[in-house]
Chains A and B, each alone.
Chain A
């Protein structure tokens, strides 16, 4: 398995509180992605990064921010969590060396109450 770790794996938080999810990789891959998955919607891209301090928005970026200060870490922050952000969040990594596949983490289940 690719060296990709998401933390925490499960979290319950209250509406209005800030939450940060972490994605850590040991593969030195350039590209990192955050997705959310909800019933009936499949995987939806939130934000992605193509290098340290280089990030861009995906299709469902409202309410989320990201940071990548080191190659190995990509942080997803919910500044003020809402119940609509209850979801399963997946991180993925991909190298830029040729045309290769993405590797996914095991997911973080976030519940906002």
Chain B
């Protein structure tokens, strides 16, 4: 997806924070940043989303730069079960469904024991 750019792969040590970057320099004012992950061959799973403020839930934190051109997903204490492909995508407010929902190739995060 040319709308977002992510590194193809990253490694992180177990117990450390995993920081996954995403570039979305052409994001519009009404587009949210969404993160999903896909573990092995399962269906993708929602993690978190945000518009311009930083967000935190039980799974992760999302840091969005002030200019909204990039964001970082943070897994505070990575475990082996966090090994997965992580997708960053943009979704327009309310109308996102009518425009389709597209994904890039994501980042393959490998947690090392």
Contact = CB atoms under 8 A, between A and B. Distances in A.
Interface of A: 30-31, 33, 35, 40-45, 48, 50, 56, 58-59, 88, 90, 92, 94, 96, 98-99, 101-107
Contacts of B101: 31, 33, 45, 48, 92, 94, 102
B97 interface: yes
22 contacts: A30-B97, A31-B98, A31-B101, A35-B103, A40-B105, A41-B105, A42-B87, A42-B105, A43-B44, A43-B103, A56-B100, A58-B102, A90-B43, A92-B43, A92-B44, A92-B101, A94-B96, A98-B94, A99-B49, A101-B46, A102-B36, A103-B46
A58 B98 CA distance: 11
Interface residues of B, number: 27
A90 B44 contact: yes
A75 to B, nearest CB: 18
A107 B38 CA distance: 12
A94 B44 CA distance: 13
B25 to A, nearest CB: 20
Interface in B72-113: 85, 87, 91, 93-94, 96-98, 100-106
The 6 A-B pairs at the shortest CB distance, nearest first, are namely A104-B43, A31-B97, A101-B46, A42-B105, A43-B103, A50-B98
A38 to B, nearest CB: 11
Contacts of A43: 38, 44, 87, 103
Contact of A102 (B41, B46, B93): B46
